[in-house]
């Protein structure tokens, strides 16, 4: 049985339905990540779980206990907000211990819990500082520590890294992953950052317009997207999706059964560039992004189709140069006119079995 179960959850703001019948089972100890475009309902869904918004329809159960109508303070959940939400006049120790003091927990127990959380988060030397004396990353760790001391059954994170710079996001992401592993806690994490989703999650929940599009492990979503939306949303750079009509004769070139009004999807790593004149397609180089460990090359075919190519080796190509384009046909995804997948491309595991 699911540890945390969402059953037909709905939410209205006036006449506008923002959450449209969400069903989701979360197991104990799982790290679940909600992703989706702005306005898809991921933060609203998290707030419904936390008890910060009222659930209009459906039920929410934790360890088989119905918590649908319980106030946030009685749900045994702890939330970490994007904005840290620290008390500026309190020290780190006071911020982390505040909820326990309100619950009249013994002072010795509070001290033990706060010091333990501070040790886990490398905050021991900062317990007597106020938030203004801390960096952004340290403030976020204080907010996480405040959740840890409560020993909740589920941790809820609402885009906790979005206020940090790139270096701190990477560092704090690693800290959150280690923290989850050490605590073994059930975690629900909201983000718009695909790197966070792919690196942190046991399972990813992709949302669009208040509905779940697909649930699966990061690589399941990457290799076996349920539709064109998931295929393009998961993966950086995003999948190349081309109208079959924009490449006349594509079916003859690649031996695939395309529908005229359908689409073909190709990950950037499944396209390679050759000398001009070779390969079934010819293109012009628009931009070369040399990133060190990999190179991204943007080209436009003679038919006017823009493609992004990823390669692990460095490139001597120049903007305006002409190249041949080769496509890994086995890896191609096919979608119908409504974006539903009709053929999934071969995965590395598929190729290994075939070999």
CATH, residue 255:
2.40.50.140
* Largest distance between two CA atoms of the chain: 78
209 and 137 fall within a common domain: yes
Using one digit for the tens of pLDDT, what is the confidence trace for 181-201? 888 889 999 998 888 999 999
CATH code of residue 134? 3.40.50.300
Using 50, 70 and 90 to split pLDDT, how confident is the model at 157?
very high
Q: Can you tell me whether residue 204 is helix, strand or coil?
A: strand
Angle (nearest 5°) at CA 166 between 160 and 169: 35
Most confident of 17-26, 70-79, 151-160, 185-194: 17-26
233 part of a folded domain: no
157 and 247 fall within a common domain: no
219 and 253 fall within a common domain: no
Q: Which of 290, 287, 292, 321 is nearest to 306 (CA)?
A: 287
pLDDT at 244 over 70: yes
Any idea which of 227-236, 275-284, 314-323 has the lowest mean pLDDT?
A: 275-284
262 and 206 fall within a common domain: no
120 part of a folded domain: yes
Mean pLDDT of 160-177: 82
Between the alpha carbon of residue 212 and those of residues 88, 207, 226, the distances in Å are 38, 5, 11
Q: What is the mean pLDDT of the chain?
A: 91
Structural domain of residue 15, as residue ranges? 4-223
Identify whether the C-beta of residue 199 lies closer than 8 Å to the C-beta of residue 177: yes
The token pair at 36 is 């989706």
Using 50, 70 and 90 to split pLDDT, how confident is the model at 254?
low
57 and 163 fall within a common domain: yes
Instruction: Give the torsion through C-alpha atoms of 242, 244, 248, 250, to 10 deg.
Output: 90
178 and 286 fall within a common domain: no
pLDDT at 172 over 90: no
232 part of a folded domain: no
229 part of a folded domain: no
164 part of a folded domain: yes
Using one digit for the tens of pLDDT, what is the confidence trace for 215-230? 999 999 999 999 999 9
**How confident is the model at residue 65, as a pLDDT?**
95
Peptide bond into 237 cis (omega under 30): yes
The token pair at 262 is 């359908």
Helical segments of the chain, H only? 42-50, 92-102, 107-120, 136-148, 166-183, 194-200, 218-223, 228-233, 250-254, 348-354
205 and 87 fall within a common domain: yes
The DSSP call for residue 338 is T
176 and 260 fall within a common domain: no
Last residue of a domain, one of 223, 256, 278: 223
pLDDT at 248 over 90: no
Q: What is the model's pTM?
A: 0.90
Mean pLDDT of 19-23: 97
230 part of a folded domain: no
* Alpha carbon distance 140, 103 (integer Å): 23
Last residue of a domain, one of 175, 198, 223: 223
228 part of a folded domain: no
Q: How far apart are the first and last CA of the chain?
A: 39
196 and 339 fall within a common domain: no
196 part of a folded domain: yes
Question: How many structural domains is the chain composed of?
Answer: 2
The DSSP call for residue 161 is T
265 and 188 fall within a common domain: no
211 and 295 fall within a common domain: no
Last residue of a domain, one of 174, 190, 223: 223
256 and 193 fall within a common domain: no
């Amino acid at each position: 049985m699911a540890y945390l179960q969402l059953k037909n959850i709905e939410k209205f703001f006036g006449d506008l339905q923002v959450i449209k019948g969400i069903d989701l089972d979360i197991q104990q100890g799982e790290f679940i990540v909600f992703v989706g475009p702005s306005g898809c309902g991921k933060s609203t869904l998290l707030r419904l779980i936390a008890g910060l918004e009222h659930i209009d329809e459906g039920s929410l159960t934790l360890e088989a206990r119905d918590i649908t109508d319980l106030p946030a303070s009685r749900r045994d959940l702890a939330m970490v907000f994007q904005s840290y939400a620290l008390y500026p006049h309190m020290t780190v120790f006071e911020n982390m211990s505040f909820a326990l003091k309100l619950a009249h927990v013994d002072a010795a127990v509070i001290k033990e819990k706060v010091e333990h959380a501070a040790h886990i988060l490398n905050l021991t030397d900062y317990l007597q500082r106020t938030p203004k004396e801390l960096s952004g990353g340290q403030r976020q760790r204080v907010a996480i520590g405040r959740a840890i001391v409560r020993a909740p059954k589920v941790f809820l994170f609402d885009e906790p890294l979005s206020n940090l710079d790139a270096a701190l996001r990477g560092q704090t992401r690693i800290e959150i992953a280690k923290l989850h592993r050490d605590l073994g806690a059930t975690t629900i994490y909201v983000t718009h950052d695909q790197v966070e989703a792919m690196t942190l999650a046991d399972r990813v929940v992709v949302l669009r317009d208040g509905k779940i599009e697909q649930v699966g492990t990061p690589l399941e979503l990457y290799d076996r997207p349920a539709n064109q939306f998931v295929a393009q949303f998961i993966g950086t750079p995003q999948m190349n999706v081309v109208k079959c009509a924009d490449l006349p004769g594509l079916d003859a070139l690649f031996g695939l059964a395309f529908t005229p009004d359908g689409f073909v999807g190709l990950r950037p790593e499944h396209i390679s560039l050759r000398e001009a004149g070779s390969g079934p397609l010819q293109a012009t180089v628009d931009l070369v992004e040399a990133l060190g460990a990999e190179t991204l090359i943007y080209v436009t075919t003679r038919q006017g189709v823009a493609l992004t190519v990823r390669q692990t080796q460095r490139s001597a190509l120049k903007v305006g140069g002409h190249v041949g384009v080769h496509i890994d046909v086995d890896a191609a995804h096919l979608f119908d006119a409504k974006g539903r997948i009709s053929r999934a491309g071969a995965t590395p595991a598929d190729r290994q079995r075939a070999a």
